[in-house]
Amino acid sequence: MLRSILIYLSQAAWARRLVMRLPPARRTAFRFVAGEQLEDALKVVAELNEGGMLVTLDLLGEHTEDAAATEQSAQNICAALEGIAANQLRSGISLKLTQIGLQLDEGLCAGNLETILKTARQHGIFVRVDTEDSPWLEATLGLVRGMQDKGYENVGAVIQSYLYRSDGDVAALAEEGITIRLVKGAYKEPPEIAYPKKADVDAAFDRQTEILLKASKQHPIRQKGDWPPLAAIATHDEARVRFAEQCAEELGLDKQLVEFQMLYGIRRELQRDLAARGYPVRVYVPFGTQWYPYFMRRLAERPANLWFFVSNLVRR
């Protein structure tokens, strides 16, 4: 119930206006967000790299409402790519397609995405296309496949395990050689298309992890530089991490073919532990002024995050 309320609030304009004016909200949000400016984010990336972590940098934003704004978003993402290259950082980029025009016009979005992929390819940088809520899934996977068909090998997809269809999506994309970031899912979806119970989501995540790791064994992708392998397991759940480790060991997979991904500001000790054991670990580092929806979804995921926020409000 609480999770549903917070996810609703993440999409409510009135709640955005209210929360973003609260200094405690900004302080709490910046536990999980690397700042509002690119320069702030690049400093965080450099610090994580020094600690042995790979990064995917994400300029926050979604559901952009006019064509000029989508093009500006694409230019800003390209500026982040240039910043990564200029500072010789070990980082890719993540983006949401509604930020660059998907809800306005798929052709506009495709043009902006190709501009970004061209810039990224010039610098040898990988681009991860995030999956949003279910109305955008089919178009998102179609655009990722379309860019792969155009020769952009530097693009990958995200699959949310709580959707009933995700077993099939993982198997199909892996067979096509498209790298997958596997997540549990952070949106409110109806029970007709998504598992409503945590135990079922966990079971689906493990099942899809096994599908992905078996595909990695059968069709290992030759990585370029710091690009992720076929399997990117994105979770803070230690039980899911241990399942992935055990499955990889039973398959005899090289640890470099199993990348673990986690969010900036969450489970840092687990990140360090996995890196010390020889696995590549990539930290998802968001930044930008449009931090509110991301922040609210983080509160929905972990009660401890919500308690920290509320206790700051009370103290203030």
- Catalytic residues, which ones? 130, 181
Angle, helix 238-251 to helix 268-276, in steps of 10 degrees:
20
In angstroms, the CA 284 to CA 76 distance is 18
Q: Is residue 255 left, alpha or beta, with left meaning phi > 0 and alpha meaning psi from -120 to 50?
A: alpha
Please give the single-letter amino acid code of residue 195. Y
Q: What is the DSSP string of 10-77?
A: HT-HHHHHHHTT-HHHHHHHTTTS--SSHHHHHHHHHHHHHTT-EEEEEE------SHHHHHHHHHHH
Q: How far apart are the first and last CA of the chain?
A: 27
**Which residues, 6 or more positions from 161, have their beta carbon under 8 angstroms from its beta carbon?**
182, 183, 184, 185, 201, 204, 205, 208
Residue 194 exposure: Cα atoms within 13 Å on the Cβ side: 20
90-116: buried (b, 16+ CB within 10 Å) or exposed (e) per residue?
Answer: bbbbbbbbbbbbbbbeeebbbbbbbbb
